[in-house]
Amino acid sequence: MQLRYSFRLYPSAGQRAALAKAFGCARVVYNDALRARESARSEGLPFPKAGDLSKRLITEAKNTPGRAWLGEVSAVVLQQSLRDLDAAYRNFFDGLQGKGPRRGAPRYKSRKDTRQAVRFTANARWSVTAGGKLRLPKIGDLRVKWSRALPSVPSSVTVVKDSAGRYFASFVVETDPAAGLDRAPQTDAVAGIDLGLSHFAILSDGTKIASPRFLRRARKRLRKAQQNLGRKAKGSKNRDKARVKVARAHAKVADARREFHHQLSTRMIRENQAVAVEDLAVKGLARTRLAKSVYDAGWSAFVSMLEYKAARYGRILVKIGRFEPTSQMCSQCGVKDGPKPLHVREWTCRACGWVLDRDINAAVNVAKAAGLAVSACGAQVRRASVPAPRSEAGTHPTPQPSTAR
């Protein structure tokens, strides 16, 4: 499997200018190739191949006055831009044929896009110096903040500039999960997870993990930054500075949410041999009045982390269907008690009389639906108090005289 490691870059002023030139050249080659293919399609001509486009738009274009500046950047960056266009067309056609998710047709890139990226493969002869700097062709040695060591030699590196003006180096590393280098020790623990909004995750053992609500907590700071942006004149330098401040505020929220997802998903995978989670319809829930809370929780990103970490550490992840009645079924006797409104957080099973916590009961049912051997003994369930029948004989604190004759 392929793993991606990202590290923060701190380029100098000259290196930022060189990276901006690389971003612009890659964008121009991408748009030229897209224009050539769209023109061929509209004229009914054969689809231009990548080799022909590379020769015409890169090799020959460098000798023309209008594109001579393409020679100022690494040729590998321009070649990778053409490969990105091929991948975009391939994903588009696969979606039309039902071989993958439906994606839109490739679109032209704009120089006003707030996110820019270029990729260097091994052919570019990039390297990491003895001093720990990233050496890129025609850019120089960039200072990197290494937070951890790479497990193996990376196959490529992508330099990304995000909306907040930060630079990152993203390395792709090939690993073999079958080799067992990252496998965690075997354990008998299993867990079912019920994802929610009041609590981010409820486990089948009764543990409730509070929802951080990063977006809700930062809304005052975000509102102020957005208001300052709205007061700036369009096209001015001050508006660009205000836009970066808004982007940085949102990036801070996204980073905190991602860190929370990473820590929780790693903990769940390391502590449990098998994990079950419900396949939620996030897009459908995002069209309701709970849209902001749903997006703030980030369920899809969390489940994606569980998937690749389970494959990496040799664990089992089971996703059950979204139509499984986990909130309507009693985890003790298995009787379906019918749907309940959201304000009902605790209910009593009419069949067996157990008082069930709605979220913990759903987490136990998620695990059982996935085929995991769990019990609700650790969950917050109890027998409901049942009054004695009127016909049942009782006892008195003091002896009573007998009335028998």
Residues assigned a catalytic role: 194, 278, 359
CB 62 within 8 A of CB 56: no
116-121 β-sheet, strand order? 116-121, 156-161, 167-174, 2-10, 140-145, 134-136, 127-128
Q: Which runs of consecutive H residues, i.e. helices, occur in 63-178?
A: 75-96
Q: Which two tokens stand for residue 133?
A: 């700097």
Packing angle, helices 237-271 and 219-230, rounded to 10: 160
d(CA 279, CA 302) in angstroms, rounded, equals 12
Render 213-226 in DSSP notation, one character per residue: -HHHHTHHHHHHHH
- Which of 358, 18, 367 is closest to 161 using CA atoms? 18
Strand partners, 278: 320
DSSP 196: -
With vertex at residue 369, the alpha carbon angle to CA 185 and CA 180, rounded to the nearest 5 degrees, is: 20
Region of 162 please: left (phi>0), alpha (psi -120 to 50) or beta. beta
